[in-house]
Structure 1
Amino acid sequence: MTSTFHGLELGKRALVAQQAALSTTGHNVANANTIGYTRQRIEMQVTNPISNAGLQLGTGVEAHKLVRLREEYLDVQLRGENKNLGYWEAKSDAFTKIEELMNEPSDEALAYTLDEFWKGWQDLSNSADSAAARSVVRQRGVAVTETFNHILNSLNLMQSDLKNVVGTKTSEINSLSKQIGNLNDQIGRLVPNKYEPNDLYDQRDVLVDRLSKLVNVKVTPAANGMVDVSVGGELLVSGRTANTLTVGYDNTSGLVDPAEIKIAGKTISLESGELLGRIESYGILGGESKSTIPTMKDNINNLAMTFVNAVNSIHENGLNLDNINGVSSTKLPFFIGTSAQDLKVNPEIMKSLNLIAAANEETSGQSSTGNGKNALDIANIKMDGSLQFLGSTSTMDEFYRNIIGQLGVDSQEAQRMKDNSEVSVQQVENRRLSISGVSLDEEMANMIKFQQAYNAAARMVTVMDQCLEKVINGMGRVGL
């Protein structure tokens, strides 16, 4: 025969189990809008029965386990897509900034400034002795040099900013690794004592998701609920230990040296992620084809110096007014400078318009102030198809159009890949939320279900109390 209090114990267990289920439901509702929260559920199981005269009498229910409703496969898939999104966001950002800098086509851009420069020489060829035409040529030359200076200075500043961003992202990665290591430590202390630190798991997953956008990560389970996180084949987080990622630079070029991207002193290979996108935008040694800003700087410098050499070559072979008038035999270059960054109009020409060489030697060996053939030759550089640019032969216009065209293609490709990655990440995130996210409708239905079960269990305790009251206070009092 079972104990008189068997029914009370059964009801008590039911109350405790349903109360735990209600508390879990309330926890889910409270965190419906918490980023990274995974909904939880109490798993109930039947308690061990009591054998009585060959019968198995049930003893009720117990809350067996508190589980997180999460699909690990979707976590892996999301982190794989996340690194691509981070990479293409970084590349797209760099291309967009360069496009804004080049500002083509517009009246302030380099193409327009060069066209105006050629027109100035064309006009000067028709009025070689005109001080006004010479002044226009000089000022348009100044405009060209200032435009080249601005582009190179802006690219250098952009590159400097990117170096700071690389440092910031590296620090962020190391901070995330330390936080993951700390959470591993807390989890590793709780799990052996039969606790289910689900909220700590959620916090750790949020950090790993953030880390996966910065670098390509691989997460593997470790002892006592902890995880190991590796990047490029080396452990960034090993249980409670967080290692440090460092990025080094080549002393000669100033570019990032792939051999100096290390974790705990061991070289790693970055496959994707925002950090790699920023590094490639800044410039990576041996990866010139992927180095966004260095490639653009090389193209602009090559354009500028080819332009300067072509103009100076003709200008120095021409005759200026001082040469014609016998004041001086000195012939000067129109531009001076070693790169687009320090390019400027010759200071001597800035002092005297007479030093602009618009004329050339005529067949008779004599020249006149009205001779503008040299100015015309300079104006015709625009259509000269024999200029050498980075091993190829083309006109200045064609080479510059190729620079801008390639920039547009690369930017469009980066934007397209970024958009595709965003769609992929969102699709995986939606699938993950369908499993792990909190549905208020579902939680309300569960709340009512658990409430009714709790009420029924409480009613059972009341009935058993009444039965016991009758047994204790009513039996053995016959006739009273």
Structure 2
Amino acid sequence: MTSTFHSLEVGKRGLAAQQAALSTTGHNIANANTTGYTRQRAEMQASNSVSIPGMQIKLGTGVDVTKIVRLREDYLDVQLRGENKTLGYWEAKSDTLTKVEELLNEPSDDGLATTMDEFWKGWEELAKNPDSAAARAVIRQKGVAMADTFQHISQSLTQIQDDLKLVITSRTDEINSLATQIGSLNDQISRLVPNKFQPNDLYDQRDVLIDQLSKLVEVKVSPPDKDTGVVDISVGGVSLVSAKGPNKLTVGYDSATGLVDPAKILIGDTNVSLNSGELLGRIESYGIVGGDTKSIIPTINDKINALAKTFADAVNSIHQSGMNLDNINGVSTEKVPFFIGTSAKDLAVNPKIMNSLNLIAAAKEDASGQSSIGNGTIAQEIANIKFKPLAFPGSSSTADDYYRNIIGQLGIDSQEAQRLESNSEVIINQVENRRQSVSGVSLDEEMANMIKFQQAYNASARMVSVMDECLDKIINGMGRVGL
């Protein structure tokens, strides 16, 4: 026969198990709005039965809580992190392309295309009135507007690039900070798991950090070690976080060009190849050695510089072949270029022309080397540059068409980046919804569980009360016959 206190022990175990389940439910409810929290569940199992002497049966001894499990699907984590890096990459590219679009601001009434068109119109007016000081003043001012517009674009592109360099530094520091935090959590977890503790909340904190890291760089996360619970994280096949601790990511620059040098992107002392993520998107936007068209700002800057130089050279070539008022009047034989500078950054109207309108050439000399004040042939030839193909790097087109091609390609790239960013957001939202359906806290479900565990707790408490009454009868009521 079993002990008289057997049923009391069964009731006590029931109380303890239901109390643990209630506590877990309360923990879930308290963290219903905690970012990255994974709902938990108390796993119960019938405790070991005992044999009854003289009988071929085993008597149950109640229930035990074997563990508190996290309800999480590892596959969804892998899928979300895989899309997270793509989202981070295209967000970075889209952000830069949008800023460049806002800078060029085309089509508009004050963009480079309009300024260039006004410049050609100014030369047409000068061709009609080559002896007009007002027309000369207007074309000089139109030239100043052209140079200022090119300089503004160049300076703004440089500012965007400088800002990107700061962002690259910030993201690199953020990656190293996340790696350090994950390494610290690995260390805490490795101290608890071997002692049979279940650090579920530490697991959640680590997963949140890994999710954040996966948007910055493409990461590969190993399954948790069975003995220690530690995970290893690698980037491009190079270990960023291991059981030994975190390594440091650094981004280096080419001394000649100032662009990011792929050979100087290191984790520790090992070169790493970035395949995706926000950091790569920022690096490609800033400019990477050998990046070609992937380098957004350098590519656009090169095209704007090519436009400025080719445009200025075409104007100067014709301008210096003509005769200005000083040449016609015999005051001087000097012929000056209309523009100085070799790029958008330093393009400017010749200071000599800024000091004297007489140096603007509008006339074409005849066979005898003479001309007249009323001759506007050169001015018209400069105005006609608008319709003439010019030799740009890799192509031959008019200045207007070359600039429109820049704007058109920029628009296509921007739309593509926005489309891919939007696609990644849709996929991530779908995966996150699926992950929340598994790991998220449902208050309705938790309330139902709370009532269920409460009723079981009350029943176990009633069981203890009943056994208490039975024991009272045995202890205080038996053996008192006749008293």
Q: Indicate whether the TM-score tops 0.5.
A: yes
Which residue of 2 is the match for residue 111 of structure 1? Answer: 113
How far apart are residue 36 of structure 1 and its match?
Answer: 0.2
Q: Which residue of 2 aligns with 1:464?
A: 467
Q: Which amino acid aligns with 2:425?
A: E
Query: Residue 270 in 1 paired to residue 274 in 2?
Result: yes
Classify the secondary structure of the residue corresponding to 1:262.
strand
> SS of the counterpart of 2:66?
strand
In the alignment, the residues of structure 1 paired with residue 139 and residue 424 of structure 2 have an alpha-carbon distance, to the nearest angstrom, of 50
| 8 A contact 2:306–2:392 mirrored in 1 | yes
Partner of 1:32: 32
User: Does the 8 Å CA contact 2:308/2:342 hold for their aligned counterparts?
Assistant: no
CA displacement at 1:478 relative to structure 2: 1.3
Is 1:228 aligned to residue 232 of structure 2? Answer: yes
Identity of counterpart residues, as a percentage? 71
1:60 equivalenced with 2:58 (yes/no): no
Find the aligned partners of 2:431 and 2:391 in 1 and give their Cα distance: 50
Q: How far off is 1:442 after superposition?
A: 0.5
TM-score, normalization by structure 1: 0.99
In 1, Cα distance between the equivalents of 2:244 and 2:344?
52
Determine the structure 2 residue equivalent to 1:349: 353
Q: Deviations over 1:389-415 (max 9, x none)?
A: 112111111111100000000000000
Q: Which residue of 1 aligns with 2:364?
A: 360
* Secondary structure, aligned partner of 1:224: coil
> Which residue of 274, 281, 284 maps to 1:280?
284
Count of residue pairs the alignment pairs up: 479
1:148/1:304 contact within 8 Å kept: yes
* Cα separation, 1, equivalents of 2:377 and 2:359: 15
- Write the distance in 2 (CA, Å) between the matches of 1:418 and 1:219: 24
- Specify every segment of 5 or more residues in structure 2 that has no aligned partner in the other structure, as ranges: none
How many Å separate the matches in 1 of 2:482 and 2:399?
123
In 2, Cα distance between equivalents of 1:73 and 1:243: 26
Partner AA of 2:472 in structure 1: E
Q: Distance in 2 between matches of 1:45 and 1:142?
A: 85
Distance 1:46 1:19 in 2: 16
Work out the CA distance in 1 between the residues paired with 2:315 and 2:28.
74
| Amino acid in the other structure paired with 1:81 | E
Aligned to 2:213: 211
In the TM superposition, what whole-angstrom CA distance separates every residue of 1:326-376 from its partner, at most 9, and x where no partner exists?
111100000001211011100110111111001111355431111110000
Per-residue deviation, 1:287? 1.1
Amino acid at match of 1:405: G
Q: Distance in 2 between matches of 1:34 and 1:366?
A: 86
Give, in whole Å, the separation in 1 of the partners of 2:359 and 2:263.
Answer: 53
2:392 alignment counterpart: 389
The match for 1:430 is 433
Contact conserved, 1:38 with 1:437, CA < 8 A, in 2?
yes
How far off is 1:240 after superposition?
4.3
Shift of 1:12: 0.3
Counterpart contact for 2:236–2:275, Cα < 8 Å = yes
Equivalence map 1:283-432=2 (5 Å)? 283-363=287-367, 365-385=369-389, 387-432=390-435
Give the aligned partner of residue 450 of structure 1. Answer: 453
Deviation at 1:476, TM superposition (A): 1.1
Mapping of residues 38-53 of structure 1, within 5 Å = 38-52=38-52, 53=55
3-state SS, counterpart of residue 43 of structure 1: strand
| Secondary structure class of the residue paired with 2:81 | helix
Instruction: Report the alpha carbon displacement of residue 125 of structure 1 after superposing the two structures with TM.
Output: 0.2
In the alignment, the residues of structure 2 paired with residue 225 and residue 142 of structure 1 have an alpha-carbon distance, to the nearest angstrom, of: 68
Q: Contact 1:49–1:59 (CA<8 Å) still a contact in 2?
A: yes
Aligned counterparts of 2:65 and 2:180: Cα–Cα separation in 1: 35
Tell me the secondary structure at the aligned position of residue 317 of structure 1.
coil
- Aligned equivalents of 2:109, 2:354: Cα separation in 1: 24
1:180-229, Cα deviation, whole Å (9 max, x unpaired): 00000000000011100000000000000000000000000334101000
> What is the alpha-carbon distance in structure 2 between the residues aligned to residue 9 and residue 476 of structure 1?
25
Alpha-carbon displacement from aligned partner over 1:32-88 (angstroms, at most 9, x marks no partner): 000000000000001010100221100000101110000000000000000000000
Gaps of 5+ in 1: none
> 1:172: how far off?
0.5
Report the residue type matching 1:154 in the other structure.
Answer: S
Quick one: distance in 1 between partners of 2:370 and 2:152? 41
Runs of 4+ aligned residues of structure 1 deviating over 4 Å after TM superposition are none
> Equivalents in 1 of 2:443, 2:409: separation in Å?
50
Residue 35 of structure 1: SS of its match in structure 2?
A: coil
C-alpha separation in 2, matches of 1:424 and 1:47: 45
Q: Distance in 1 between matches of 2:369 and 2:6?
A: 128
> Distance in 2 between the 1:428 and 1:259 partners?
35
The aligned amino acid for 2:142 is: R
137, 140, 146: which one aligns with 2:139: 137
Q: Deviations along 1:271-328, whole A, 9 cap, x unmatched?
A: 1000000000000111112000000000000000000000000001111101100111
Match of 1:174, SS state, is helix
Q: Which residue of 2 aligns with 1:22?
A: 22
Q: Quick one: distance in 2 between partners of 1:398 and 1:277?
A: 29
Q: Helix, strand or coil: the match of 1:225? A: coil
Question: What is the CA-CA distance between 1:264 and the residue it aligns to?
Answer: 1.1
Alignment of 1:146-161 (within 5 A): 146-161=148-163
User: Conserved in 2, the CA contact under 8 Å of 1:184 and 1:240?
Assistant: no
